A = this chain, B = another copy of it.
Amino acid sequence: MEINANNTQLKSWIEVNEGSDFPIQNLPFGIISTDKKPKRVASRIGNSVIDLSALSDLGYFGELDTVHLFDQENLNPFIEKGKAFTRAIRNRLSGIFLEGNNELRKKENDLHKVIIPIDRIETHLPVQIGDYTDFYSSIEHATNVGTMFRDPDNALLPNWKYIPVGYHGRASSIINSGVAIHRPKGQQKPTDGAPVFGPCKRLDFELETAFITYPGKELGDHISPDEANHYIFGMVLFNDWSARDIQKWEYVPLGPFLAKNFASSISPWIVTLDALEPFRVSGPTQDPEVFSYLKYQGDKNIDINLEVLIQPENGVATTVSKSNYKHMYWNMDQQLAHHTINGCNIKAGDMYGSGTISGPTPDSYGSMLEISWNATKPVKLSDGSERTFINDGDTVIMRGFAEKNGVRVGFGEVSTKVLPSK
C-alpha cells in the first residue's frame, strides 16, 4: 500500500514549488489553528495546508472512521489507532490530491474549507508527549566528546558499542518551532574555585532527529528490531538545547538534568516513517557483534540531509553545520528494541531523540561544543561576528530533507530564538 503513496511519478493538482519539502510523496501530519478555528489535525502539500477535520466532516474518508479524530488539540488519538490506520489515511490523502482526481478539486465550496494557505495558519506542538527519551547513538559525537573531556586514546566508554546508550528527558518542556526560549540559569563550577550561580555561559544546540511511537505492548513485553518499524509513526527535527557549563557540574553520577530540561524544540510536521522508507540506506558495520536482541536485517539507516544555521538578531543566517542522519551507529529499530528489552512499555505520542548527529568532518559536527572544539575554535558568521556558543538574540535554525530519484521529502525547519535570562 505505502509503495503507492511514495511513487516518484506521483504529482498533485496542488502546486508544489521546486525544492519544497512537501510534495505529495510526503503528506506529514501536524496541528494547526487559524483565526477562525481552533486546533485541529492537518497535512500539507507545498504551501497549501490540508485541514483533515474539514475533510472528515465533508465525508472524504468514507469507510475510514475519523469521527472526532481530527478536531483534536494533538495527534495522539490519531496515532492511537496504529500504523494500518494512519497509513490508510495517508494513502487516501495521496488519492484525493493526485493529479487527475477531481472529486475534491472541482468542488469550490469544499476546496475553500479544506485548503488553507500556509501563511494563514499557525502550527502547534503536534503531540502530547507522554515520555521522552534521548539516545546517544552517533559514534562521531560520542568520540568527539570523549576526546575532549576524557582520553583521546579511549574516547568511547566501554559500554558504548554494546548498548545504544540512552537516558530519560523532560517531556513538559518540549516546544514547537517558533517558541522562543530564555537562557537558563543554574550552578556552574569554574575549574578552580567554588561553584557559582547565574545565567548559563555555554548555551548550545544539539542537532538531532526524534521519532514518535504508536501504542506499544504491555509492561513486561519487549519489541524486537524486526517488529520496531510497526511501532514507529514518524520523525521530526529535534534541537536538544544544552547548557554545557550546568551539565558539567551536575551530571555525575545520575546524568544531565537542568542542563537539558529547560527546553527542547521540534519541527511542527511529523513526517511518517512510511514517507521516509524510500530513503533507507545501510548502516555501519557493528563490531563487536551486538547481542541477539539488537540484531536487525536490511537497510535501517535513513539518508536525511541536515543543516544548522545561526541567525544573529536582525542579521542573516549562516550555515554552521551540514550533517546526515545516515551516519548513526545505532538505528531506531535497535534503540526501540533496547528500550523495551527489560519490559519497559511505550505509549502513543512518546518521543525518542537520536542523540546529537555528528558526521565525520568538523563541518558536519552537530553541536557548538564540537564545532568550536570546546570553545577553542570560534566560528565566523557572515556578519563578521564570532561564536563559540549561542548568544542572546541568536536564532538557531535546523533543516532536514531526504532526496532521491527527483523526489525530496523534508521536515521544513525548527527555528528557535534565544532570549536573555528572565
Contacts and interface: CB of A to CB of B under 8 A. Distances in A.
A406 interface: no
Contacts of A258: 338-339, 341-342, 344
B173 A219 contact: yes
A49 interface: no
Interface string A162-206: 110111111111010000011011110100000101001000000
B185 A341 contact: yes
A243 interface: yes
B251 A253 contact: yes
Contacts of A187: 159, 162-163, 291
A292 B196 CA distance: 11
A254 interface: yes
A341 B254 contact: no
Interface residues of A, number: 62
B343 A168 contact: no
A403 interface: no
> Which of A157, A159, A293, A347 has most B Cβ within 10 Å?
A159
A181 B345 CA distance: 12
Contacts of A136: 254
B172 A169 contact: no
A169 B163 CA distance: 18
B255 A184 contact: no
A347 B165 CA distance: 28
Contact of A254 (B158, B165, B339): B165
A167 B221 CA distance: 25
A400 to B, nearest CB: 24
B252 A159 contact: yes
Task: Give the most central of A168, A246, A263, A344: most B CB within 10 Å.
Answer: A168
Given A253-B255, A254-B165, A221 B173 contact: no
Contacts of A130: 130, 171-172
A257 interface: yes
B172 A131 contact: yes
Contacts of A163: 187, 249-250
A333 interface: no
A268 interface: no
Interface of A: 130-131, 133, 136, 157-159, 162-163, 165-173, 175, 181-182, 184-187, 189, 195, 197, 200, 219-222, 243, 246, 249-258, 261-263, 291-293, 338-339, 341-347, 350, 422
Given A159-B187, A167-B257, 16 more contacts: A130-B171, A130-B172, A165-B253, A166-B254, A167-B167, A167-B168, A167-B255, A171-B171, A181-B219, A186-B341, A220-B422, A243-B342, A251-B254, A253-B255, A258-B338, A343-B422
